[in-house]
Structure 1
Amino acid sequence: MRADRLITLLLLLQNRGRLTARELAAELEVSVRTVHRDIEALGASGVPVCADRGPAGGFRLVDGYRTRLTGLTGAEADSLLFAGAPGQAAELGLGADLATARLKLEAALPTALAGRVRVVQDRFHLDAPAWFRDADPVPYLAAIAQAVWDQRVVRADYRRWRGDVRRELLPLGLVLKGGAWYLVARADGAPEPRTYRVSRFLAVEVLGETFDRPEGFGLAAYWEESARRLEAACLQQTARLRLSPRAARLLPVRFGSAGVAALAGAGAPDAEGWVEVAMAVENDRVAVGDLLRLGPGAEVLDPPGLRAAVRQAVRELAGLYEVLGGPGPAVPGGHVADGPDPGGPSPVR
């Protein structure tokens, strides 16, 4: 709406000082011509806007002028939860609201504090998604978010590992984890909530029917407990590993907290710098792929079943490369060669 854009334009000039028409157009995502029309509208409404000519010129407010139009709308207040994650706010349809809310907050601050805010913005930045990973496509996120807010039932087609399903869901909350969105919802008739990865929704229809939230349900508490249950279910065994110095350095990178804990209990290094650790891992199928990512600097010592599974995977890889490209370098005895990561089970249903 034009009224909202005029307020944003006014706050930009108040908070940042002189700005060119092109800079304002980029901030407002409009054309330069539209900026000139909006500047004229502000002037006609009594806002003292000056136009400075020349290479260093631009538009500015008369010295000393400050607007008091700094109250937040409901949508702007909602958007502040994502003040450090503008990309995720945009996915939820709150991008413009967040931008305006930040400008209003900055305008309401004393000059010294507003300057500190700008310094922090220049020096600290939050980037939620993991490295080397494109964001999941989430075409239905905004609709799901609105259903969560309005407590409305949704009818959804969802892609599971075991096949696609259609369900009516009672959406209780959204969680952003590692750059991916998850919906916590109760399937109609199910006693307990479940977790659904938003990118796997194939179709979503928000129904007119509303529902009551379960008494005492807390999204943060549910997610924390769900994460604990998932970790306990996935980490089914303890592997004893012999690691080269390089593989030991990679352990926290590849395995996160489990790798950190394993290194904390590592034994003394041998003459070549290799150490032995005990680390919680998933079932053999998943653990093989994870451990192969450490390359030839990792040897599985126990349990015997996992060691045998890794050995078999290495043999199959060696055979594959002999067929495709002739014999390659020998695999060091007892050590693990690099190989593909077959992935693991998803934490969602």
Structure 2
Amino acid sequence: MKINRIITIIMVLLQREKISGKELAEKLNVSLRTIYRDIQVIEGAGIPIITYQGSAGGISILKNYKISKGLFTKEDVIVLLKGLNLLSSPILNEDENVRTLEKIKSLLSKHDLNQVRNDLSQLTVDLSPWLSKQNINNKISIIKEAINKQLRLSCEYIKLKNKQDSRLIESYKLIFKEKEWYLQAFCLSRNDFRLFKLSKMSNIKITNTKFIKQTTPDALSSFEKDMEKRVFKIKLLIDNSILERILDYCDEQDLHKLNDKQYIVDFNFIDDDYSYGILMSFGHQCICLEPEYVRKEMIERTKKLINSYKKNDNLFLSNYYLK
């Protein structure tokens, strides 16, 4: 990870009088060109770098230089540490995270470090789900390797209406959006960039075929524009017993108290199976008031659910108890 590598370079340069670019590249397992790009970033941050030519040459920080408060203040370091806490799992593995955290902490005095620890204790980020689900961490690990090595991935992907097909893709960026992980990738079969939901990806394998990176479009802009066009408000009548759950999907300003037991809710809705599934998950404590066609569709879906239970009830129970 770039921030991890740059901090490592700064720490090495502060501890050693001089080091060659080749040695840095070997230590960090990157190209010499990458090292010199990182050195430019460090210089841009205000750290005075000196390079020496020839066989005894190398890279060093100006003698007696110390990191000034103008470069990394205590507040800056807190931001860095909080950011790493946000990325602690599953983007960074445990070893990477511990090493980077310790390097950043070394920029602080003992007194300031205690204050930072108190500040960090007020924030906990855990991206894992409450209930157990498929191993997203393993998928992310494979995808990260493919991104770093610029190797194509093959996978199976479930499309709309549960149709599954094989995809060959070039991975660019992992994205965490609204409780779900996505991958921005160039799809060879569609000849275009796509967002792939990790939960719908299976049998992910790294191929031996390298790819040349293209200029990537904004990962979410087209998706968000499409969503904005599809979203509209519906009115719900809800029981106050599901108020807490409703707030997972809307804001307090969308709630209008009707009486001590009921609320009218202006609810963001998209006319698809996913949104109807959300409404049905609220059970009888939620009724759609308008528009009329959404209300009728909810009635039809409820009827189908009841009929499905009635139709299969006796057959299912008899077969179940015969096992």
Which SS does the other structure have where 2:258 is aligned?
coil
TM-score by structure 1 length? Answer: 0.55
Unmatched 5+ stretches in structure 2 = 1-80, 315-323
Aligned-residue RMSD, C-alpha: 3.4
Provide closer, same or farther for how the CA distance between residues 267 and 126 of structure 1 changes in structure 2, counting only shifts above 3 A: closer
Q: Which residue of 1 aligns with 2:240?
A: 245
CA deviations 1:225-249 (Å, max 9, x no partner) are 14413533653x5422222333444
Cα contact 2:153–2:170 (8 A) shared by 1: no
Candidates 293, 298, 301, aligned match of 1:310:
298
AA matched with 2:170: L
Q: State how far apart, in whole Å, the 2-side matches of 1:264 and 1:123 are.
A: 28
Q: Which residue of 1 aligns with 2:107?
A: 108
Q: Which residue of 1 aligns with 2:143?
A: 144
Q: Which residue of 2 aligns with 1:269?
A: 258
Q: State how far apart, in whole Å, the 2-side matches of 1:203 and 1:244 are.
A: 44
Q: State how far apart, in whole Å, the 2-side matches of 1:302 and 1:244 are.
A: 17
AA matched with 1:136: N
Q: State how far apart, in whole Å, the 2-side matches of 1:192 and 1:114 are.
A: 47
Provide closer, same or farther for how the CA distance between residues 155 and 113 of structure 1 changes in structure 2, counting only shifts above 3 A: same
CA deviations 1:298-341 (Å, max 9, x no partner) are 2222222222222233344555667759xxxxxxxxxxxxxxxx
- TM alignment of 1:127-206, pairs within 5 A: 127-134=126-133, 136-150=135-149, 152-161=150-159, 162-167=163-168, 169-178=169-178, 180-188=180-188, 190=190, 192-199=192-199, 200-206=201-207
In the TM superposition, residue 148 of structure 1 has moved relative to its aligned partner by: 2.0
Provide closer, same or farther for how the CA distance between residues 301 and 116 of structure 1 changes in structure 2, counting only shifts above 3 A: same
Q: State how far apart, in whole Å, the 2-side matches of 1:265 and 1:80 are.
A: 32
AA matched with 1:203: I
Provide closer, same or farther for how the CA distance between residues 80 and 213 of structure 1 changes in structure 2, counting only shifts above 3 A: farther
Provide closer, same or farther for how the CA distance between residues 229 and 136 of structure 1 changes in structure 2, counting only shifts above 3 A: farther
Give the share of equivalent positions with the same residue, in percent: 13
Provide closer, same or farther for how the CA distance between residues 317 and 181 of structure 1 changes in structure 2, counting only shifts above 3 A: closer
CA deviations 1:14-44 (Å, max 9, x no partner) are xxxxxxxxxxxxxxxxxxxxxxxxxxxxxxx
In the TM superposition, residue 126 of structure 1 has moved relative to its aligned partner by: 0.8
Q: Which residue of 1 aligns with 2:281?
A: 293
Provide closer, same or farther for how the CA distance between residues 276 and 143 of structure 1 changes in structure 2, counting only shifts above 3 A: closer
Provide closer, same or farther for how the CA distance between residues 210 and 316 of structure 1 changes in structure 2, counting only shifts above 3 A: closer
TM-score by structure 2 length? Answer: 0.59
Q: State how far apart, in whole Å, the 2-side matches of 1:267 and 1:80 are.
A: 37
Do residues 231 (structure 1) and 227 (structure 2) align? yes
In the TM superposition, residue 282 of structure 1 has moved relative to its aligned partner by: 2.1
In the TM superposition, residue 138 of structure 1 has moved relative to its aligned partner by: 4.5
In the TM superposition, residue 202 of structure 1 has moved relative to its aligned partner by: 1.1
Q: Which residue of 1 aligns with 2:87?
A: 85
Cα contact 1:143–1:206 (8 A) shared by 2: no
Q: State how far apart, in whole Å, the 2-side matches of 1:296 and 1:243 are.
A: 9
Cα contact 2:167–2:187 (8 A) shared by 1: no
Cα contact 1:171–1:184 (8 A) shared by 2: yes
Q: State how far apart, in whole Å, the 2-side matches of 1:290 and 1:184 are.
A: 26
Q: State how far apart, in whole Å, the 2-side matches of 1:225 and 1:106 are.
A: 36
